[in-house]
A and B are shown apart, each in its own frame.
Chain A
Amino acid sequence: MGLSARIVAVPGLWLALDIIVCVKYVPDVSSTELKVDSSGRDIERRGLNYDINEWDDYALEAALMLRDKHGGSVTAVSIGGEEADRVLRRCLAKGADKAVRIGDTRLNVNDPFTVAKVLSAAARKMSFDLILTGVQANDDGYAITGPAIAQHLNLPHATLAKKIEIVDGRVIVNRELEGGVEEIVELDMPAVITVQSGIVELRYVSVLGIRMAMRREIKVMSLDDLGLSSEEVGEPWIRVEELYAPRVERRVEFVGGSPEEVATKIVELLKRRGLL
């Protein structure tokens, strides 16, 4: 079990940090048209590009930075089928030391409570000082997983981290509140932190790096490996019953034509409004 406090609060003492980063692979939907599939509960996933969840990318980056500063290791963990390997390889290419995929067809990955339970069971099998994950995921945006893991493991937590520092064996987190105000909290370790976008600059992954990562091992674990029965992760706590295009009354008037025509129309509009 990784919950024993390995950190000794002696100033100046070298301490290594073992960090678990939970990452999700999500479809990139920013400029694609989304269709609801025949079940009516999910999107049509064929033809979509998948990538690491933006917030998890920042969590990984923050973890790598902490490890580079204090020593230790970063383990990227994801739940899903083989398609999740791509994201884990990207984590390895960026500098993660290990990658673990929990692949089990019995798992309902669309329920954040199931996900949190499984990830905390996986964490129990590892030794760690910190668990980092994104504030939320691009796709469902629940923002549940991180604090739910903390509760399962009975660990202190902080959400919406814009800055993470280790001082004397404790972790200091700047939490982002509304309007850009930040709240400073101090946590004992081990702890769980959810990372807000923009915490550090994201590093670039080279094609060569990805290619090298192809040869690295991704450890695959099943529910049995985690000591979880299928009943324990059976019924989802929440589920999508229906997915549909928002029924909003748009007031928008579309301006069409060639760029020159559009520009002319907009300039006319601005003149009429006294804005030009």
Chain B
Amino acid sequence: MGEVVVLAEQRGGEVREITLEALAAGRKLADKMGLNLAALVLGSVVEKLAEQLSEYCDTVLLTEDERLAQYNSENYQRVISHIVRERSPRVLVMGHTSLGIDLAPRLAVELGFPLITDCIDVEFLDGRLYATRQMYGGKLNARVSAREADGYILTVRPGSFHPSKAAGKGVVVRLAPPELGGEARKRVKGLVAPTESGVSIESADIIVAIGRGIGEKTNIPLAEELAKLLGGVVACSRPIVDKGWLPPDRQVGSSGKTVKPKLYMALGISGAFQHIMGMMNSQLIIAVNKDPNAPIFNIAHYGVVDDLFKIIPALIKKIKEIKGMK
């Protein structure tokens, strides 16, 4: 039976946005390949979720087991590979999320299904599967093909597909879980919330954000001076937090904060997608980068191709001038 199966992700009993996006990617392939679109829902008590998802696809495959209450790759892998062996879907789609990154490669090797990760577009052409994805920090796009196989796995980049709209009513099919016993070699112990240090970049109207281009920790006061003159706060890309130069709650991006300020100044930030995810809805984006091909210019409203160590001091001087400061 021909199917494209999308693995649903939930948070607090709600379907995550990425699942609706993955369903859109799945729908595109299913239509082209003449297959059904199915959502796979795993959890402990998730019938409501299955009902909700049935509006987005032809079939919802539902497997409930208390050992699926929280994500553990061992149990998820066992259940999914069991279902794949029973139903032989042609394509399995998941989000390129902390879950998809964890699970998809193992399933691919176990099942012998080629996997293409972090796809921003998918295509089925002349009997072969292709995906578009970014490489080299978003500087180039790649069209990647998978070798012919019984099945394929794709993970899709969050925000790359327009979320599916509810349409119609699919059927919910209950599938019994396989034997999940046996010795668990991986045990999930719980979740920890991120620590907050004080400054809330999420509520700031003006953000001066620095990236690796700032060079040294000792240069950060320069950005701080500019932020202060503008009445804003300093935020940053991940490498600045990784180096311990600023606390984690200043990081903008998929593993940090999502901000929507009136002004976002990106200084020495290349514009990797994980960063863009956290700031793309800013009202005004001004980027300073000495590389004219930096992907940050793909989303900036205004761009300056120059050395930030020339531009920031000039800006500081100018603002001081008009404020009548010396």
What is A's interface to B at a CB cutoff of 8 Å?
29-34, 36, 43, 58, 112-113, 116, 135, 138-148, 150-152, 155-160, 172, 174-188, 191, 197-198, 201-202, 235-248, 250-256, 259-260, 262-264, 266-267, 269-270, 273, 275-276
Contacts and interface: CB of A to CB of B under 8 A. Distances in A.
Contact of B193 (A138, A181, A187, A239): A181
Contacts of B194: 179-182
B322 to A, nearest CB: 6
B239 A255 contact: no
Contacts of A202: 243
B277 to A, nearest CB: 9
Contacts of B301: 251-253
Contacts of A241: 130, 142-145
Contact of A263 (B290, B298, B314): B314
Given A113-B109, A243-B140, A143 B101 contact: yes
A27 to B, nearest CB: 8
A177 B270 CA distance: 23
A47 to B, nearest CB: 15
Contacts of A276: 230, 319, 322
B238 A198 contact: yes
A236 B147 contact: yes
Interface string B36-71: 000000000000000000000000000000000000
A135 B138 contact: no
B318 A267 contact: yes
A275 B263 contact: yes
Nearest to A251: B301
Contacts of A141: 117-118, 133-135, 137
A185 B187 contact: yes
Would you call the interface of chain B mostly helix, strand, loop, or mixed?
mixed
In the A-B complex, the 4 residue pairs with the closest CB atoms:
A198-B242, A180-B194, A259-B314, A263-B314
A34 B304 contact: no
A140 B135 contact: yes
Interface in B197-244: 206, 212-213, 230, 238-239, 241-244
Contacts of A275: 206, 230, 262-263, 284
Given A185-B186, A252-B297, A242 B142 contact: yes
B57 to A, nearest CB: 24
A197 B118 contact: no
Given A148-B106, A250-B298, A267-B315, A259 B238 contact: no
Interface in B128-183: 130, 133-147
Contact of B141 (A176, A177, A245): A245
A267 B322 contact: yes
B73 A181 contact: no
